[in-house]
Structure 1
Amino acid sequence: MLADAARGFLDESAPVAHLRGLRDAGKRHDPALWKAMADMGWAGILLPESAGGSDMGHAAAGVLAAEMGKTLATSPFLSTAVIAATALRQVADDRAAQAMAKIASGEVTYALAIDEGRKFAPEATDMQATRDGNGFRLNGTKTFVVDGAQADRLLVLARTDAGLTLFDLPADRDGITREARAMIDSRDAAQVDFSDVAATGDDVLGKVDDAMAVLKPALEAGQAALAAEMSGVAAGAFGMTVGYLKERKQFGTLIGSFQALQHRAADLWCQCEVTASAIAHAGRMLDSDPENATLAVSLAKARATATAKAAVIEGVQMHGGIGMTDEFDMGFFMKRARAGAEWLGDYGYHAEQVARLRGF
């Protein structure tokens, strides 16, 4: 029921043509679309009812993310409603409760500022938060901050005296400079510079020197939801390709009747189904046993990355020359698959996680 409702809304309000329109207009975010999503309760899907959320869980968040992937809907759902919401849920204080309520209402959006190098590596964070009286001074640069140019607040990972600390900062605080950088899929991924940015103890999310206690569940929630979105990307590309095979004729014959193309389509369908199963399992693990969900989450992200790549490559090839043109939508799916592959850990990162946890 949730999937059907989401599909109906997205087909009408955020089809692929909507993304094309945003790109052509030089925009990377549609506040009205996000407000509509929040009004339907999507922003609070992982938040408790006390904060205005519905507390439906990670499996349900994956359902929404997958439907968004099918139409390439552009929104801060992953960074705000999934990652930030999960991080705030780890902290039981009034400030976190107020922040969650603002997320659920759609009033505030977040971005995650952790990456510094070319690859996802939170533990290798080098940005410094030095002691300054009862507070800190942050200096450094964060790259690939998805939704960072539009976000109201930033979750910032920095190195303190004895470990890593996570800060929840307003994006307009003195010393923070954001440079919007469009990704290949026309979404926002900013570079954020921190120059002597003041932070107090109230800005710390969780405990000083213990960021991963808050950040690890949030990252795994984001990775699982991103995997679900990428499975939606694969499904959207697959559906478009099968539709074309049923319509395109060569020498008076539907190309869908060619056995070689049938085999390729059948193989891709099997990959999509196996990946959907892995993603559903990751959602169940996050809901029922989050302390032991890492293997399921990394397996889902690795499979979703590989499946989305296969789906868009097959889509372009089976469409032939038209698949390479900007006027045709398949290229948008290919670009989203490529950007999603890098965010929150690429195939190699998650394959290594799976191998390590399986004892190889």
Structure 2
Amino acid sequence: MDFSLNDEQRMLDETVSRVIREEYGFEQRRGFAGEPDGFSAANWSLFAELGLLAIPFAEENGGFGGGGVELMIVQRAFGRGLVLEPYLASVVLGGGLVEQLGSPAQRERLLSPLLAGKSRLALAWAEPEGRYDHLAVATRAERDSDGYRLSGLKAVVLHGDSADRLLVTARTAGGPTGRAGLSVFLVDSAQPGVGVRGYATIDGLRAAEIRLDDVRVGADALLGPEGGAADALETVLTLGCAALCAEAVGVMEAACELTLDYLKTRQQFGAPIGRFQALQHRMVDMRIALEQAQSMAIFAACSLGLPGAERDRRIAAAKVVIGNSGRFVAEQAIQLHGGMGMTDEAMVSHLAKRLVMIDHHLGDVDHHLGRFVALSD
């Protein structure tokens, strides 16, 4: 099969790669991490100006109608630069769910400022005891006279501490793990009853614990039909997994390049350590793992348009392979760098941390291996 990019895709690749190369050096990234929101507001505006925030959305919603390949191109470049901005959290997950569930009026109200870089969304779906099960939702939404009252706790909400609005999954009916009765509500993060505790994750990004204490929202805060959000949520989380797979490939590419450069320059016994055959073999093993990951990222990107069960099975397989490959590359890169590979001043340590977190985001290897087995029966 021909996996070469078309002209528009090549232009996108050149544009986003140039931005990362010129505007996202390692020292620049360290500076961005120190800003109030943990990322660069100027870069977020630049991404909007270049149309990167509009890539995944349909044209009727103000987007460019990009598919899995276009998302893969952007995320792969972002992985190479270890981008801190909330593209996955706000655009892919938050904006993606609005596009899936929102009414025309809600899409216009929420997506227009998002695509312009003037607002940010965060998807609050995970709960402390739910692990990676998106249907394990104990948060409740009870009807009152003119809307709903929400109570519950959400865990590890990516960039939840800097989002203007939260998309919260809650039970309007049914048991704690059933598909029926799962709804999504739009919640202003600053309104009474919403508690936000933000923190840094080990890879330099941000997340938050969100507490909802009898939070009152209007009827217009409900996205989609009451109790019918499960399918849309699964679609968006699967899209997020494909995006993470592509990002992991970018991170692995950067790790392999840094490690090869180090082997060529580090001297021992009067020669570059890259001349030692044992280290050459380990470098080759890293490249083999990278090639496997690249193939699976393409496989995931090209599977997004398939029917639900087959799509989920394929992307679960990709998440497993890329999770294993990412950890292998991270471990080898650090070991080949020696002790300096663990220091905060070495970019390779940040690449390794990001690969570990990518494995855990939206389900780790064990979780997706179980999903793949279940979907293959």
Structure 2 length-normalised TM? 0.91
Please show how residues 267-282 of structure 1 align to structure 2 within 5 Å.
267-282=285-300
Distance 1:171 1:35 in 2: 21
Residues 1:174 and 2:192 are matched in the alignment: yes
Deviation at 1:26, TM superposition (A): 6.8
Asked if structure 2 preserves the Cα contact closer than 8 Å seen for 1:228 and 1:304, the reply is: no
Give the secondary structure class of the aligned counterpart of 2:303. Answer: helix
Give the secondary structure class of the aligned counterpart of 2:192. Answer: coil
Give the secondary structure class of the aligned counterpart of 1:327. Answer: coil
1:260-288 CA distance string (max 9 Å, x none): 11111111111111111111111111145
Asked if structure 2 preserves the Cα contact closer than 8 Å seen for 1:302 and 1:350, the reply is: yes
**Closer/same/farther in 2, CA of residues 81 and 26 from structure 1, 3 Å limit:** closer
Counterpart among 163, 173, 189 of residue 161 in structure 1: 173
Distance 2:149 2:167 in 1: 15
Asked if structure 2 preserves the Cα contact closer than 8 Å seen for 1:231 and 1:275, the reply is: yes
Amino acid at match of 1:259: Q
State the partner residue of 2:140: 128
Point out where structure 1 has 5 or more consecutive residues left out of the alignment: none
| Range moving further from structure 2, 24-33 or 78-87 | 24-33
State the partner residue of 1:304: 322
State the partner residue of 2:251: 233
Residues 1:146 and 2:164 are matched in the alignment: no
Asked if structure 2 preserves the Cα contact closer than 8 Å seen for 1:59 and 1:287, the reply is: no
Counterpart among 261, 284, 291 of residue 266 in structure 1: 284
**Closer/same/farther in 2, CA of residues 55 and 83 from structure 1, 3 Å limit:** same
Amino acid at match of 2:373: A
Point out where structure 2 has 5 or more consecutive residues left out of the alignment: 1-9, 175-180
State the partner residue of 1:105: 116
Distance 2:78 2:308 in 1: 24
Asked if structure 1 preserves the Cα contact closer than 8 Å seen for 2:33 and 2:39, the reply is: no
1:312-358 CA distance string (max 9 Å, x none): 11111001122122221111112212222221111111111111122
1:123-158 CA distance string (max 9 Å, x none): 111111112124211111111011100011111011
| Range moving further from structure 2, 188-197 or 254-263 | 254-263
Distance 1:113 1:352 in 2: 24
State the partner residue of 2:89: 79
Deviation at 1:4, TM superposition (A): 2.5
Structure 1 length-normalised TM? 0.95
Deviation at 1:86, TM superposition (A): 2.0
Distance 1:155 1:49 in 2: 23
Asked if structure 2 preserves the Cα contact closer than 8 Å seen for 1:42 and 1:81, the reply is: no
Counterpart among 47, 52, 58 of residue 37 in structure 1: 47
Distance 2:247 2:151 in 1: 33
Amino acid at match of 1:4: E
Distance 1:8 1:312 in 2: 25
| Range moving further from structure 2, 316-325 or 296-305 | 296-305
Residues 1:284 and 2:294 are matched in the alignment: no
Amino acid at match of 2:139: M
State the partner residue of 1:95: 106
| Range moving further from structure 2, 83-92 or 139-148 | 83-92
Residues 1:21 and 2:27 are matched in the alignment: no
Distance 1:318 1:228 in 2: 24
**Closer/same/farther in 2, CA of residues 27 and 173 from structure 1, 3 Å limit:** closer
Distance 2:295 2:208 in 1: 33
Residues 1:212 and 2:222 are matched in the alignment: no
Deviation at 1:290, TM superposition (A): 5.6
State the partner residue of 2:269: 251
